[in-house]
Structure 1
Amino acid sequence: MTTEYAMTGQYGMTGQYATTASATPGYATAPGRFLLLHGWQHHRPAGHWQRWLTDRLTAVGHTVRYPQLPDPDEPDLEHWLAELRAHVGELSGGEGRRTVICHSLGCLLWLHAVARDAVPVPVDRVLLVAPPAPEFVQQHPRIAEFGPLPTLAGRLRAAASHTRIVGSDDDPCCPRGAAATYGDPLGLPTDVLPGAGHLDLAAGYGPWPELLAWAREAEATALGAGARVLRSRHEIQQ
């Protein structure tokens, strides 16, 4: 299922969230555990939505891991898989929902881990943000080994109770779109944000309050299901 959404508040809207996880109706009552996986040439820059989200979730009591993966300019798939296994394994202790949020090449890293049964602990939710197309990745020798889409054969459900994709309608790294490239073939729900590019700093992401709201939702809802998150074009026109 593909849903197109109109985006609001993606630029410069920082916001201060001083409440605890249990203080806001509709949000999870127990602190959750999050793992954020970045992409190619990513050095956790100030202002990027992954750093912003880490700060906001930590401020309201959640545990967030946002590791710098080794050699991000010339990543090695096997090294990154080893890091993923270690960090996902660390989500297993304690209570609270386990959520993995990947961006760009981090999405393909997750899919390779799933295909190899290399996810050591099943998680509750996975969000794949702006996954690049295999053909795009294979055009770049430094990341080409991430490019061939692995055979998943029903393994997605074993690795995560809920997996969702968020992409845009003009991502230069995924010209056919995330829905056609990944969502439809894998049977995953996909949200399409208009004019959002690669959902990176160059596109204004940046503070992303809608994603923060989704991350804190009590239920494993779609990104866009709640009034606090994103509203579909149809809903806005009513």
Structure 2
Amino acid sequence: MRAFLILHGWDNHRPPGHWQYELAAALRERGERVVYPQLPEAATPDVDAWRAAAAEALREAAADGARVTVLCHSLACLLWLGARPQEAAVERVLLVAPPSHGFVSGHAEIAAFAQLPVSRPDGALIVASDADPYCPEGAERAFGAPLGIPVVTIPGGGHLERTAGYGEWPSVLAWCLDPGAAIVAR
């Protein structure tokens, strides 16, 4: 049995049209177990509150021995890299558009996330744009090389969210259903 845990980023209220919202709907339509919580106080997130919410959501996803694929966007990537719940049920992790520590530390509402000591989760893959204003140095330099995580670079994709055209994202859905599928630009 498998399940999917989807964690959103800063100031995200899970809007229709965002790739995570569309992915959750598409997976549910296929009969998959999907846990897609609204993390507390999305505009002014607290590390401990987000950590607790992610742990609870992971327990829900992993119920009945399900193997979990975790999909994080933006600030949730830093949460997962630095404060993830320890759970053997996590099989794969997709980190989409992680913001750099420099960007995060420059915003008082989220600066605490920049203080988390990051480490490489097993089964991780980063997908990021080469034009992300939230990670100007690039995900390969900021996270991929230092943590030994493979990075898929999407040319010109911005922050890989709605305003950058990332609503339905067929290759992410394909990757969820088949770990060998390649993730490409929308």
TM-score (norm 1): 0.74
1:212 aligns with 2:182: no
Corresponding residue for 1:150? 117
What pairs up with 1:1-238 in 2 under 5 angstroms? 32-114=2-84, 118-152=85-119, 156-157=121-122, 162-217=123-178, 220-221=179-180, 224=182, 230=184
State whether residues 35 and 64 of structure 1, in contact with CA within 8 Å, keep that contact through their aligned partners in structure 2.
yes
The amino acid that maps onto 1:230 is V
Provide, for residues 153-192 of structure 1, a one-character-per-residue CA deviation record: whole Å limited to 9, x for no partner: xx623xxxx1100001000000011111000000001000
State whether residues 128 and 153 of structure 2, in contact with CA within 8 Å, keep that contact through their aligned partners in structure 1.
yes
Instruction: Give the deviation of 1:113 after TM superposition.
Output: 1.9
In structure 1, what is the Cα distance between the partners aligned to 2:131 and 2:138?
Answer: 7
The unaligned stretches of length 5 or more in structure 1 are 1-29, 232-238
In structure 2, what is the Cα distance between the partners aligned to 1:136 and 1:170?
Answer: 14
The amino acid that maps onto 2:121 is L
In structure 1, what is the Cα distance between the partners aligned to 2:140 and 2:99?
Answer: 12
Instruction: Give the deviation of 1:149 after TM superposition.
Output: 4.7
In structure 1, what is the Cα distance between the partners aligned to 2:158 and 2:86?
Answer: 29
How many residues matched? 185
| Paired residue secondary structure (2:95) | strand
Instruction: Give the deviation of 1:96 after TM superposition.
Output: 4.5
TM-score (norm 2): 0.93
State whether residues 35 and 60 of structure 2, in contact with CA within 8 Å, keep that contact through their aligned partners in structure 1.
no
Provide, for residues 208-232 of structure 1, a one-character-per-residue CA deviation record: whole Å limited to 9, x for no partner: 0111011100xx33x62xxxx539x
| Paired residue secondary structure (1:150) | coil
Percent of aligned positions that are identical: 47
Q: Which has the higher contact order (CA 8 A, sep 6+)?
A: 1
In structure 2, what is the Cα distance between the partners aligned to 1:151 and 1:34?
Answer: 22
Corresponding residue for 1:27? none
Instruction: Give the deviation of 1:90 after TM superposition.
Output: 1.7
After the TM superposition, which parts of structure 1 deviate over 6 Å for at least 4 consecutive aligned residues?
none
Corresponding residue for 1:235? none
Report the structure, 1 or 2, having the larger helix content: 2
After superposition, the CA RMSD in angstroms is 1.6
Instruction: Give the deviation of 1:95 after TM superposition.
Output: 4.9
Corresponding residue for 1:10? none
State whether residues 126 and 144 of structure 2, in contact with CA within 8 Å, keep that contact through their aligned partners in structure 1.
yes
In structure 1, what is the Cα distance between the partners aligned to 2:137 and 2:89?
Answer: 30
In structure 2, what is the Cα distance between the partners aligned to 1:84 and 1:93?
Answer: 14
Provide, for residues 14-58 of structure 1, a one-character-per-residue CA deviation record: whole Å limited to 9, x for no partner: xxxxxxxxxxxxxxxx5x200000000101111111110000000
